[in-house]
Amino acid sequence: MDSLMILQNIELQRGDFSLHVEQLEFKKGRIYLLEGPNGAGKSTLLQLLAMLMVPTKGMLCFAGENVINASQRQRLRRQITLVDQTPYLFDASVYHNLAFGLRLRNISGDLLNLRISQTLEMVGLSGFEVHQARRLSGGEIRRVALARAMVLRPRLLLLDEPNAGLDREILPIFEKCLATLPGQGTTVVIASHDRDQSRRLGGEVLTLNEGRLLSTSQNTLHQTLLRETGTA
């Protein structure tokens, strides 16, 4: 089974805005780039994928499980992490920010320290553990937010406009980090205006406009649904 998440006939209403996704599949260990103009629904779709929003209609499957209730969402959310376009760091040290999610997953002691230092090294912030989050620069905040998500080793990593506000010299480090994730089995979905990023990362492009998915290269969804859930 190489499918991680499947959406079918999804409808989501958020005020005046509505999102429709007929069918969409995210495979394990792949990178996807969500593109579209402002207000196309990229952030809404990411929030839906992060299970922070509940669709009004349709079916959402994660790791072969049809997600239908709140307790399921809360349990499965531990395998998904969303990094917002303006990430919020807790008013504590960088170490505490990274330890937050690990402690919720009962990871502590030496293993916790090791994962934190390894992840900070990956984003080019070695030795930043003791720094106070409130005293970091904009680019550092973004990298700590990415490290805080990556340290959890989620199966699905969602990034909303991760390039915005990122220093030009940091971008290669950042993309190098992202490129390693599919190899670790993580599926990455990036909402971005930078089309070249997809080419650089070798990802699949999904285009959204006015809340509708316009193009994907996916044509095997129906068969996958039949095979994995037997409900399609």
CA distance 105 to 130: 22
Asked whether position 229 contacts another protein by CB under 8 A, the answer is no
Instruction: Name the amino acid, one letter, at 37.
Output: P
User: Two tokens at 175?
Assistant: 């993309």
Q: Is 27 in the site for another protein (CB under 8 A)?
A: no
Shortest separation between residue 156's beta carbon and another protein, angstroms: 11
The bridge status of strand 204-209 relative to strand 31-35 is: parallel
Query: Min. distance of Cβ 56 from another protein in angstroms?
Result: 19
User: x/- binding map, residues 32-71, to another protein, per CB under 8 A?
Assistant: ------------------x-x-------------------
x/- track of binding to another protein for residues 133-172 (CB under 8 A): ---------------xx--x--------------------
Please report whether residue 74 would count as binding another protein according to CB under 8 A: yes
Nearest-CA neighbor of 61 among 141, 6, 124? 6
DSSP string, 9-38: EEEEEETTEEEEEEEEEEETT-EEEEE-ST
For residue 90, state whether it binds another protein (rule: CB under 8 A): yes
By CB under 8 A, residue 78 contacts another protein: yes
d(Cα 232, Cα 225) in Å, to the nearest integer? 6
| Interface pick for another protein out of 22, 84, 129, 175 (rule CB under 8 A) | 84
At residue 214, what is the residue type? L
**Which one of the spans 17-25, 77-85, 187-195, 208-216 is the region binding another protein (CB under 8 A)?**
77-85
Q: Mapping DSSP to helix (H, G, I), strand (E, B) and coil, where does residue 218 land?
A: coil
CA 103 to chain centroid: 20
For the chain, what is the radius of gyration of the CA atoms?
18
Give the span between the Cα atoms of 124 and 48, in whole angstroms: 30
Judged by CB under 8 A, the residue of 37, 64, 105, 118 near another protein is 105
In the set 5, 82, 150, 181, which binds another protein (CB under 8 A)?
82
Our CB check for another protein shows the closer of 52 and 214 to be: 52
Q: Which residues bind another protein (CB under 8 A)?
A: 50, 52, 74, 77-78, 80-82, 84, 86-88, 90-91, 100-101, 104-105, 148-149, 152
